[in-house]
Chains A and B, each alone.
Chain A
Amino acid sequence: DSGVTQTPKHLITATGQRVTLRCSPRSGDLSVYWYQQSLDQGLQFLIQYYNGEERAKGNILERFSAQQFPDLHSELNLSSLELGDSALYFCASSFGTFNTEAFFGQGTRLTVV
């Protein structure tokens, strides 16, 4: 158990819908990172938050957004979903701002039908 909790574990939704994925970081960790893992693209960095503020942005679509709350949990919002958004979404956390020893959650498997 990495200590990073992601909910839900599985999500099936229709195209055009909006979903919210939730992540609770390890106790004491201030950074939260979101990654998308698909079969053809591998693990792609989406966005990082540190202590409530956006720190870095990767290949995140405009239809996607995230935030980190005062209690340090984070949510990833995916809207206007398309079939190609089906993937595993991972959250990772670390104490500092550099993702050198981040711990990953078990992921949320999103299926868009």
Chain B
Amino acid sequence: GQQLNQSPQSMFIQEGEDVSMNCTSSSIFNTWLWYKQEPGEGPVLLIALYKAGELTSNGRLTAQFGITRKDSFLNISASIPSDVGIYFCAGLGAGSYQLTFGKGTKLSVIP
């Protein structure tokens, strides 16, 4: 089955720093999604990407759909304490109804 490798697994950063995380796959995806999950909550969709090369922003968050269609990146600029949580990438292959999720990047922000 399709697998996504998400890295890093966890990050500890100082408030105000920029953050980068990425997701890679051995197969092509037609859609990339980035979610954030906070404790006791379900994943919340942050950004959806539908075209190779697409760069989309949502406030301080920017995500890119890799040209090869096998990877995606999420950047968070000027991190703040409320950015804490687990960030998941997810991909949807051609004709697939199933999202494949990465294992998540746990972000901790030190004030």
Interface of A toward B, CB cutoff 8 Å = 2, 4, 33, 42-45, 48, 55-56, 58, 90, 92, 97-107
Contact = CB atoms under 8 A, between A and B. Distances in A.
Interface stretch (B11-19, B61-69, B73-81, B99-107): B99-107
A45 B33 contact: no
B97 A106 contact: no
Given A2-B42, A42-B104, 5 more contacts: A43-B88, A45-B99, A45-B100, A100-B48, A102-B45
Contacts, number: 55
A97 B97 CA distance: 7
Given A42-B104, A43-B88, A99 B42 contact: no
16 contacts: A4-B42, A33-B99, A42-B103, A45-B99, A45-B100, A48-B98, A90-B42, A98-B92, A99-B99, A100-B33, A100-B50, A101-B45, A103-B45, A104-B43, A104-B44, A107-B41
A47 B84 CA distance: 30
B42 A106 contact: yes
A56 B98 CA distance: 7
Place the interface of chain B in its size category: 20 to 34
B87 to A, nearest CB: 12
Contacts of B97: 48, 55-56, 97-99
B21 to A, nearest CB: 15
A109 B99 CA distance: 21
A58 B99 CA distance: 10
B104 A106 contact: no
Contact of B92 (A4, A99, A103, A107): A99
Question: Which of A55, A97, A98 is the most central at the interface, judged by chain B CB atoms within 10 Å of its CB?
Answer: A98
Contact of B41 (A56, A58, A106): A106
Contacts of A44: 101
Nearest to A99: B99
